[in-house]
Amino acid sequence: MSDTKRRLLPMLGHTNGKRSAVTCALKCDNACASAVCNTSSNNYFRDIVSNELSRRSVMGAGAVGALTMLIGANAPQLAPGGTGIAPAVAMKRHGGKGKLKFTPIDPVDALVDDFTVPEGFAWRPVIRWGDPLFRGAPAFDANNQSAAAQAQQFGYNCDYTDIVEIPGSKGRRAVLFANHEYTNESIMFPPELPAGEVRAIARAAHGLSVVQLERKNKNAPWSYIVGAGLNRRYLLDTPYELTGPAAGSEFVKTIDDPAGRTILGTLGNCAGGTTPWGTILSGEENFNGYFITPGTSDADRRYGLTSRPTGRAWETDEPRFDTRNAGYANEANRFGYIVEVDPFDPNSIPKKHSMLGRFKHEGANVIVAGDGRVVAYSGDDERFDYLYKFVSKNTVRTGNSAEDRRANMELLSEGSLYVARFQGNSVPEIDGTGALPSDGAFDGVGEWLPLIIDNESAVPGMSAAEVAVFTRLAADKVGPTKMDRAEDVEPNPATGKVYVACTNNTNRGVPGQAPVDEANPRTRNRDGHIVELTENGGDQTSTRFTWNLLMVCGDPATNSSTYFSGYPKDKVSPISCPDNLAFDTAGNLWISTDGQPGTIGYCDGLFRVGLEGSERGRVDQFLSVPRDGETCGPIIHDDERNVFVAVQHPGEDGAWGAQNSLFPDYVEAGTAPKRGEGALPRPSVIQVFPAERAGKGDDKPGRGHGKGKPRTDDNRGGRDAK
Ligand code: FEO
Ligand code: CA
Ligand code: CA
């Protein structure tokens, strides 16, 4: 085993009851085993009841979503745009009745290497790690990998995914976007592969992919097209235009980019969002693990940047990854942004939008406000970090011209940036046990605190460029609420209500750390919770909101602190560590999880959650991903009853020659890796569809069929929780 790969093997046993130790090391540089980054003593008003804040928030409540611009049902028909196929403002559909009927599956034991869907459904990969994108690109060959081949193939560890139909194709053509968060060298590469080649392939396996899809008709499964005109890999040498206050500032200039406006590559991409104008946003999350820095400045410490050699040792090959090298002091300041790409123009220059701040962006999701401005929500996925909102200066254009599209792609470059403060109304009763307060809810009011207003800094002593680059430090000064790792933050297009997946925080309330508050009410929060936030007056641009917890997660069979908005606890699927969010056409919330094996002992999965009426709080598990894997990027194409997920890091804890998973190909399990496909796990985008459609409209059978045991009252709690 090479030195590089030996360095990648993590110490075992410090997972803090969630992810595997390997995932902790590779994905986020052991963030949970390191000191908490946010040591600021910002006064976030836990014990201060602001009567003024409460009064103003209550005044504006009601009429939720009334001003939210109706996009989708009332949007203009998609029509050819400047690039020939660009869609107009029409991406999010809503309203109407959800058509997806399924019998919830039973949770699947954490050690099972299988992909489980409900009875009556089948599944099949759309695309897998290593599948060729371009004509002449080699087929994946586990034993003959090269950086040149990987650069022409689908990358590793797909996370955010969306599928956007190509206008005018009658539902038969689409583009698929996926990002590639990180690599696991220990299970990807044969041990004899030279360390330098491992690093080069791993670099090429990062980044983004756009792949064109086709199907015979709307009832047939999708296939991807090798060599299609829209196919593109975004690699580490792809130039990105930096926009917003950071662009051209002294904080982002390097010897390679003295103007401070052009950044090569994107790193640590996690979740994302699809904008109403048809572009894709992707969040640069755990970028810190790729850099060596002096590790001595407040900014370094606040962003988890250290002087330790990195696990992947890319600094060996590219001096910019060691910011102590001459000319590269600012290189790490060029990552940690929201990236925007145009999947309909393979020649376009992607952007990094500093107006949305620099932090460990899980992703960003956009909704159009009543006045036509656009609002983007984003979480900083770090223990005790914050929730942010951006409001654009300009309004969205609904036309289809090239000029409309260009203008819409500048919406995220100018405007205002805020950070959230939550105020509970039952503060004295919040004791860390998760016991519901006597008013029957974890709830209260909140305020969006300005960091940048109309492109100008709102933080004393910091310029707008400083706020955009050192956003965590700026936020610390204004007193926002320290959250339990805000992952996906997604506005429901049907109601305008905003949902925040707080995945977990096992440091909450421990000695020396921030105490519980009503928005983060459990000590050592292992299982996470979902915040539901309503902007005042249904105005997405409001600086006031009300909030409540929709769900306090866990396995209710063994955990009395769980809460499902009053839905009977014995009739919900157990759920833990919520991560990515999506909505179906009926306005139901879908939640994918990351970390259940380490908490409630089940494989991660995808869950549908009712939000309204008697169904509110009902949790039904739809699918379960293979051993060690994480469920990402859910897409619910309800009209066609299709569900898509990205399966990230299947078999994470295995090793070359001792793989834990052979997903998705499931060749003879237990055999050593061999030449050719299928003997190692391959992160993939999976489509799930009604089984009667398998084989119809195309020549391929379904890869797998539903065999999930229906959840019943008898079996749902019939095993020991782990
Ligand atoms: Fe990449 Fe926040 O998970
Ligand atoms: Ca309360
Ligand atoms: Ca995530």
Return residues with CB closer than 5 A to ligand 3 (ion): 270, 579
Ligand 1 pocket, 443 CB below 6 A? no
Q: Could you count the other beta carbons within 10 Å of the beta carbon of residue 237?
A: 12
How many A from CA of 61 to the centre of ligand 2?
A: 16
Question: Strand locations in 308-464, DSSP E?
Answer: 338-341, 351-353, 365-368, 373-379, 383-385, 387-395, 415-424, 443-453, 456-457
**Closest ligand, as measured to the CA of 580:** 3
The atom of ligand 1 lying closest to the CA of 268 is 1
Whether the link from the prior residue into 491 is cis, omega within 30° of 0, is no
β-strand partners of 162: 177
Q: Which residue has the tokens 């009712």?
A: 610
How many A from CA of 81 to the centre of ligand 3?
A: 33
3-state SS assignment for residue 547: strand
β-strand partners of 211: 176
Ligand 1 pocket, 380 CB below 6 A? no
Instruction: Identify the residue whose C-alpha is closest to ligand 1 atom 1.
Output: 270
Tokens at 660, concatenated: 């834990």
Q: What is the largest distance, in Å, between two alpha-carbon atoms of the chain?
A: 69
DSSP structure class, residue 656: T
pLDDT of residue 43: 52
pTM: 0.90
How many A from CA of 362 to the centre of ligand 3?
A: 6
**Closest ligand, as measured to the CA of 591:** 3
Cα-Cα-Cα-Cα dihedral sign, residues 415, 420, 421, 425: positive
**Closest ligand, as measured to the CA of 160:** 3
Nearest to 502 by CA among 385, 628, 339, 375: 385
Residues 6+ apart with CB under 8 A from 440: none
Ligand 1 pocket, 385 CB below 6 A? no
Q: How far is residue 547's CA from residue 58's CA, in Å, rounded to a whole number? A: 11
Question: DSSP labels for 658-686?
Answer: B-S--TTT--STTPPP-SSSSSS---EEE
Nearest to 62 by CA among 520, 717, 538, 487: 538
pLDDT of residue 640: 84
The atom of ligand 1 lying closest to the CA of 379 is 2
Q: Which residue has the tokens 């058509």?
A: 99
**Which string of b and e fits 58-91 if b means at least 16 CB within 10 Å?**
eebbeebbebbbebbeebeebeebeeebbbbbbb
First to last CA, the chain: 34
Return residues with CB closer than 5 A to ligand 2 (ion): 425-426, 437, 439, 441, 443
What residues of the chain score a pLDDT lower than 50? 1-17, 45-84, 90-96, 673-677, 699-702, 710, 712-722
- pLDDT tens digits along 124-174: 999 999 999 999 999 999 999 999 999 999 999 999 999 999 999 999 999
How many A from CA of 373 to the centre of ligand 2?
A: 32
pLDDT of residue 69: 30
Ligand 1 pocket, 285 CB below 6 A? yes
How many A from CA of 365 to the centre of ligand 2?
A: 28
Give CA angle at 276 (274, 278), nearest 5°: 60
Nearest to 619 by CA among 633, 632, 605: 605
3-state SS assignment for residue 324: coil
Amino acid letter for position 690: P
3-state SS assignment for residue 717: coil
Question: DSSP labels for 382-417?
Answer: SEEE-EEEEEEEEEPP---SHHHHHHHTTGGGSEEE
Q: How far is residue 125's CA from residue 662's CA, in Å, rounded to a whole number? A: 13
Ligand 1 pocket, 527 CB below 6 A? no
How many A from CA of 441 to the centre of ligand 2?
A: 4
What number of H helices and E strands is found in the chain? 11, 32
> 376 with 338: CB under 8 angstroms?
yes
The atom of ligand 1 lying closest to the CA of 485 is 2
Ligand 1 pocket, 32 CB below 6 A? no
